[in-house]
Amino acid sequence: MNSSSISKFLFWLIVSVFSGTSLLISAVYLYLTPQLPDIQSLTQIELQIPLRIYTEDGQLISEFGEQRRRPLEYNEIPQQFVHALIAAEDDRFFQHNGVDLKGLTRAAIQLVRTGKKKSGGSTITMQVAKNYYLSSAKTFSRKFTEILLALKIEQELSKEEILELYLNKIYLGKRAYGVEAAAQVYYGVSLSELKLAQLAMLAGLPQAPSAANPINNPRRAKERRNYVLARMHTLGFIDQQQFDDAAKSTIIARYHGLKSEVEGSYIAEMVRHELYQKYGEDTYRLGFRVTTTLNSKAQTQANNALQTGLLKYDRDHGLRTQPNQKLLSPTKLQIYDNEITLTWPTELDDKQDIDWPKTLDDWQEELNSRGQYGLIHPAIVAQVLDSGAWIVSGRKQWSWLPFSGVKWAKPYISVNRVGREPTKTSDVLSQGQIIWVTASAESGLQLAQIPEAEGALISIDPSQGAIRALVGGFSYGLNKYNRATQADRQPGSAFKPFIYSAALANGLTPASIINDAPVVFKDAGLENTWRPENSSGKFYGPTRLREALYKSQNLVSIRILKQIGPRKAINYISPFGFPREKLSKDLSLALGASAVTPLELATGYTVLANGGFQIKPYFIDRIEVGSEEELVFQANPMQACLECTATAENSSQVNDAQSPQDENQALLDAISAPLSEALSAEAVASEAPAVRRLAPRIMDERTHFIMNNMLQDVIKRGTGRRALALNRNDLAGKTGTTNDQKDAWFSGYNRDLVTSVWMGFDQPRSLGRWAFGGNTALPVWVDYMGAMLADKKHNPFPQPDGIVNVRIDPETGLLARPGQKNAIFELFKQEQIPARDSSKQGTAEHNNDDDEEENSPELLF
């Protein structure tokens, strides 16, 4: 075959190959084009955004969702980062039309030479097409579809829009999707706050986000970062000086977990549960932004107050020995490295043959595995001296723990006994021991231990039910059980205000005389005969109602309930927020034997704090969804309003003896309606202003005023006297302690805030013979309320019409004689002013007890 024939053959071969390729491409184009999606749908795609929960004042509480993402608009992205990205990924991005022919050619040559697909020649636009529409399968058909989509995207979207889509979608390791989330994960700040070296580090991550990020592989990540910087220098984005400075910088990236600005994990879980009931798995991807009713100051103070109280209780009962407590042996030096220069605390014994660099590295791993729980954090004892100990805590931080912070650690023997006080630090601590420590402004650094006793605190705005603070235990990280909403515990005497309120509504007065004497109660439902007694074990004889309340005399409460009847009392009490089925149907109700949650008890006290109105506590104020934060729910709670003119609806629902019981019963429902019900079509927010909803009155205003005044006496002269430290004239409340000191309570309020505190063990057992509501729960309440009311004006209730203040004989409860020296003033409803002759006072139970011996038990059936 001559040369002419060969030329013709090659020519037609090339033409055939070209034609065949063209036909193949045309066929593929015609086949795939109809299947391509509408590019405009890219602008409507909702990226997976986690559920985020905030306080009312905008502080982040928690985030739920597998993909951490914070979308940015293009104008929020630093230009230097854009340069770093295109230098690393696609340096001709602003010139090509979506497909880089040079890159594709290079990828094809590599495939021919090696037989393997080493690179796909993808542009940023092609990656957008893949990330939003296609799978990651490495097939030729997917590649052709990717190319066609890229061309179509470039025709319909601007370069800036394409980059915005890419940067918000791309995975960059450590659950971070999008560049803003990556900046937060690796550096703990926004993308706009990063320096050149850090921006280049992030720009290099798309190539291998899991294997080459600066946390998993710092060396490889640094090499990739410097490659990006070199490309930026080559392309003229940075000068030589910028390159040199950035390339020399050390890697400071570390994992920054979710940075909650306020610790509110218990209520965050309540929010998550409510949304999940409605939306299922969409809860974690639609980008819900939930604003709760929590106040960040209140929540922080509640956390600190409860933890402080539990730690104090724990210290008072001694240091529990831990047989399996871990001791780490410091590593001995084998070879000294004279080039290492370290600065240790001056008192540290440098004669010990310890390789401190190696030791601290080992200890740091141990400390990292322990975590931190609010006010306490782990540490390891480095050296023990008579005057204290050197300890090492997080990030190899040295601290001095003085002996004064260890001196409390008497050995725990039982809940009522502790051993001898230690005389030197080594009586308690050993080198290498893992311990817990806490710090306070008053006491400095102190040894601590994770408390066994638990507690709960809930604080509510009584005017409309917003929960301002909720703490369900010492630490959510240790135990997720929410005692504030899930723990049914007997409230003891903290329940008595509701019994006394029922008594005042049914004819008794603060001056009614009730005999404090032994009783015996027999009931077929009880295994043994019930012989209730006062906590002091004494009996006080005829006692005024007011005095019996602030002294918390149990036997008076029982006789009051006997007189008005358990059924009538339950009808009166249940609208306060207590589920009817939880209330005992017998006289044990008078002593708080009906188990309720701290939330339910606090709800009851809101009626006393707001002037007698029924409100329902709630914890979600509004819900927004999506990147546009569309409002889908806005709470519109009922408002207690003393100043408002009583409507027919309100006045018809006054919960006093004269009110129809069927109307009271109609008020009963769940304490907090599920959000799944609230998010109905009727509840979705609209542009129309919400109609103000007035809460129904369930307590006569005069009954309320007298009851509130009696509860103020609990603080002024009764079991709540520790609250006098707040120096306020508008506080009222009641302590509660159950049998064998298994539960300690204090619930108290002013018109601005209701707070209930409970302390006890999860598996009920005694807190100790000296643990009562007044010295265990009340100090926590004082700590919290003192901070919350510090800048609030005193806000007493105005005296309503129909209340009179008259002088009475404190022994008989009747009107005082003229000139009687021991007479006292007492409040009465105008129509209940007592007479001077005892025969005219028919509502007091003492008439039934005149013939009874003071210490002779009365048999109650």
**Which residues are part of the catalytic machinery?**
89, 493
Q: Which residues pair with 454 in a beta bridge?
A: 760
Whole-number Å distance between alpha carbons of 119 and 100: 13
End-to-end CA distance of the chain: 127
DSSP letter at 332 equals B
Whole-number Å distance between alpha carbons of 382 and 391: 5
Q: Which amino acid is at 305?
A: A
Q: Strand, coil or helix: what is 711?
A: helix
106 phi and psi angles, rounded to 5 deg: -60, -40
447 phi and psi angles, rounded to 5 deg: -65, 145
Whole-number Å distance between alpha carbons of 194 and 279: 37
Whole-number Å distance between alpha carbons of 647 and 127: 65
Cα-to-chain-centroid distance, residue 767: 26
In sequence order, the 6+-apart residues with CB closer than 8 A to the CB of 213 are 172, 173, 174, 186, 205, 221, 253
Scored b (16 or more CB within 10 A) or e, 754-763 reads bbbbbbbeee
Whole-number Å distance between alpha carbons of 155 and 158: 8
How many CB atoms lie under 10 A from the CB of residue 842? 9
Structure tokens at 201: 């580090």
What's the per-residue H, E or C state across 822-844?
CCEEEEEEHHHCCCCCHHHCCCC
Question: Tokens 């595995």 map to which residue?
Answer: 369
- Classify the phi-psi angles of 843: left when phi > 0, otherwise alpha if psi is within -120 to 50, otherwise beta: alpha
Whole-number Å distance between alpha carbons of 562 and 515: 12
Cα-to-chain-centroid distance, residue 583: 29
Contact 67, 48 (CB under 8 A): yes
Whole-number Å distance between alpha carbons of 181 and 535: 58
Whole-number Å distance between alpha carbons of 771 and 791: 31
Rounded to whole angstroms, the maximal C-alpha distance in the chain is 147
Torsion, CA 238, CA 244, CA 248, CA 249, rounded to 10: -40
Whole-number Å distance between alpha carbons of 178 and 471: 34
Q: Is the dihedral of CA 174, 177, 179, 185 positive or negative?
A: negative
- Residue 325 burial class via C-beta count within 10 angstroms: exposed 0-12, middle 13-18, buried 19 and up: exposed
Whole-number Å distance between alpha carbons of 832 and 829: 5
List Cα–Cα distances, 607 to 457, 497, 630, in angstroms: 18, 11, 35
Whole-number Å distance between alpha carbons of 243 and 240: 5
Beta strands in 250-370 (DSSP E): 289-292
